[in-house]
Amino acid sequence: MDSTLENVAYSPKNVFILSGQSNMAGRGGVEKHHWDGIVPNECHPDASRIFRLSAHLHYEVACEPLHHDIDAKKTCGVGPGMSFANAIKDQVEAIGLVPCAVGGTAIKEWAHGQHLYVNMVKRARAAMSHGGEIKALLWYQGESDALSQHCVYTYKANMEKLIHDIRADLHLPSLPIIQVAIASGDEKYIEKIREAQKAIDLPNVVCVDAMGLQLKGDNLHLTTESQVKLGQMLADAYLTHFAPQEPCVASS
């Protein structure tokens, strides 16, 4: 093992959970189960400041695709995580990304006690055990719930319960949540899911709207360029609403 793993840089203080389904896991550049390997400049690794928690709960230098060993049954490509981290790294100390997203998952699969939820909590706690402070949960999910009327009607309550549960289990009652209003899904119910997402009115919960970002030919997943843009939108939301502000210095 690389001896630099013992370096303090591998115990990032600012931790961000990346969770939800495939658009968070990243399908940018993926066609026919093959990733083209193209990494935009905004997503380049930074070995001194941006790290990811692996499936084995060890930190390593973060690079695309961030979810390759988490959403392991699918082919992962570019997601929003790296462009998010690169966009905030000059305002914060070392960043720890905790990928947890799994493609094709409905909100009920993230309920308290379900495998996906348990794994997310376990990974978050592991990041905290490395000395990190969880600064926000970035959440992009809902396309799978745009498939039935029942899922639509229960989405808001289920998402609110997820927020309460994760805050309670991590003992972080004010944990910032930045959720994405979906940009794709079944046309019959997509607007109802978006309405539910934007209607969540809890403290320290903000919504970033992905509608209008370009989709791939499957009309479901964001393109690489759109993922870069989304990451920057998430970064703007974090820096605007949650990042500690530098104190103003009066001029003499």
The active-site residue, picked from 19, 22, 144, 226, is 22
Whether 22 is catalytic is yes
pLDDT band at 7 (very low <50, low <70, confident <90, very high): very low
Two tokens at 236?
A: 């703007």
Is pLDDT of 1 > 70?
no
CB crowding 220-238: b at 16 or more within 10 Å, else e: ebbbbebbbbbbbbbbebb
The active-site residue, picked from 69, 115, 164, 218, is 218
Topology (CATH) of 8-238: Rossmann fold (3.40.50)
Q: Which amino acid is at 243?
A: A
- Helix locations, the chain, DSSP H: 22-25, 81-88, 115-129, 149-169, 190-199, 224-241
Give the pLDDT mean for 190-210. 97
The active-site residue, picked from 67, 83, 145, 221, is 221
Q: Residue 49 phi/psi, 5° resolution? A: -135, -15
Prior bond to 247 cis, omega within 30? no
Q: Which of 64-73, 83-92, 182-191, 239-248 has the lowest mean pLDDT?
A: 239-248
Residue 158 CB neighbours (<10 A): 17
- Which residues face 98 on adjacent strands? 17
Give the pLDDT mean for 231-235. 98
Whether 44 is catalytic is no
Q: Which of 53-57, 139-143, 145-149 has the lowest mean pLDDT?
A: 145-149
- Predicted confidence (pLDDT) per residue in 20-70, tens digit: 999 999 999 999 999 999 999 999 999 999 999 999 999 999 999 999 999
Residue 97's alpha-carbon distances to 80, 160, 220, in angstroms, are 11, 23, 24
pLDDT band at 10 (very low <50, low <70, confident <90, very high): confident
